[in-house]
Amino acid sequence: QRQMCIRDRGNNGLTEAVVAEIDYSLNHHELIKIKIPTDDRETKALIVEAICRETNATKVQVIGKTLIIFRPTDEKKIRIPKI
């Protein structure tokens, strides 16, 4: 998995360039962690929602400021067990 930080990608927050990089990372890794640099829960929830919507990814978990998202590729690099 790969970890990226929105703050490192620019101080303008969730820009088209940031979304494009997240999309690129999902295409190569399927599962990535994204650091969201805010303590405000409402702002964080909006950013998480926007990232998942714009990248067509599934939110796996949010722990503190870290969002974990998943989007399968055609190669299916990660197998999710059925429960």
The mean pLDDT value of the chain amounts to 84
Range from 4-8, 15-19, 41-45, 74-78 carrying the lowest mean pLDDT: 4-8
Q: CB-based contacts of 25: which residues, under 8 Å, 6+ apart? A: 2, 4, 32
How many angstroms separate the CA atoms of 72 and 6, rounded? 22
Phi, psi (degrees; rounded to nearest 5) at 45 = -60, -40
Instruction: Pick the more confident residue, 81 or 56.
Output: 56
The alpha carbons of the chain give a radius of gyration, in whole angstroms, of 12
**Tell me, what's the pLDDT at 7?**
52
pLDDT value for 22? 92
pTM of the predicted structure, to 2 decimals: 0.81
State yes or no: pLDDT of 16 exceeds 60: yes
